[in-house]
Structure 1
Amino acid sequence: MGSSGSTMQFSALVPQNPPLGVMPAYAQNHEVTLKLREKSMSLSGDSFEITDPQGRPYFSMEGNAFSIRSKKTLKQADGRPILNIQNKLLTIHTHYLVYKANESTESEPLCVIKSHFSVTGTKIDVAFRNAADGREVVFDLRGSFFDRSEILFNQQTYYLTVAPGVDAAMMVALCVCMDEKQNEK
């Protein structure tokens, strides 16, 4: 995680069919690379500008530092809300719940993200029901403490490459959760 070059070797991204994610409308039929840049002067907390590599707006993430659950909203480039991310209260390890932006937190979350202790970095487990075919999907993500770099005022920039057929909105939400977990003090 971070803006430094990674030392990890990556395999080629495999197109997913049926689409993989909670919102198939955000799955493209081609590989998409996104730049997530944390807003350094944001008073709201954990806000990101998400652009394509040429700097064109793609999404934005608006954090609310004054919310008990640290609510964050992923928005389309035109400002329309897509997803809300909220911390689940009263858990030993951090849990994030992802909802459609127009749904109540009383409804079933689209995605549950659970953090785990790791000596070398961040580890989160992700569980969701795939919207395209209804199957339960569970996987884990790991961020390396050693492959990160904080350049200025804890501001982070990440590059995310999303495979064809994978929900880019969900992947952005996962990256923001990884960032938040990595930066917990």
Structure 2
Amino acid sequence: MDDTPSRIPAAVTDLRAAARDAGFTMSCEERTGSLLAVLAATRPAGRILELGTGVGEGAAWLLSGMSPAARLVSVELDSAVQGIARAELGADPRVTFVGGDGGAWLEEYDGEPFDLVFADTWPGKFTHLDRALDLVASGGTYLIDDLDPQPGWPEGHEASVVGLLAELEGRKDFRTVRLAWASGLLMAVRAVS
């Protein structure tokens, strides 16, 4: 079976070109993007958090699956790359872009929990994990990617991934599944309380 997505959001083509021009190589893999769109579609009027906007490919996939009443908050440290996302996607009233350190944002955020959290950067995955998981609503989903070895991983990073997976799979408040697909994914769903 061919697992190449058949529907790619229109904005993704322009965002890919902009990423190439900017030398940005960490965009959302399109199979991961297709999963994001499906997960977003399961949450009509859902609240979605993306940690690590990059140039906005993940946000484009999320928006393509979101209902008109759903809302997305996307946080990115690098204002230059997020500026690409803002230029392409910023007119969509469902998305709010936040510039700044994801860890600091997680520490300061005091609003409602999210139905879907996609942690595509260090904060919320390798740092501030407990805080990111605290923000997942009952029955909500937490998704991380880039768990298979990637070019440019720093020395010792594989051990960090192994530790992260063990920590997530050991939690009693989430059900997890590893997906040997795309760049290597883990999806966790908070047990309904």
Same fold, TM exceeding 0.5?
Answer: no
TM-score, normalised to structure 2, is 0.28
Higher helix share: 2
Relative CO higher for 1 or 2, CA cutoff 8 Å, sep ≥ 6? 1
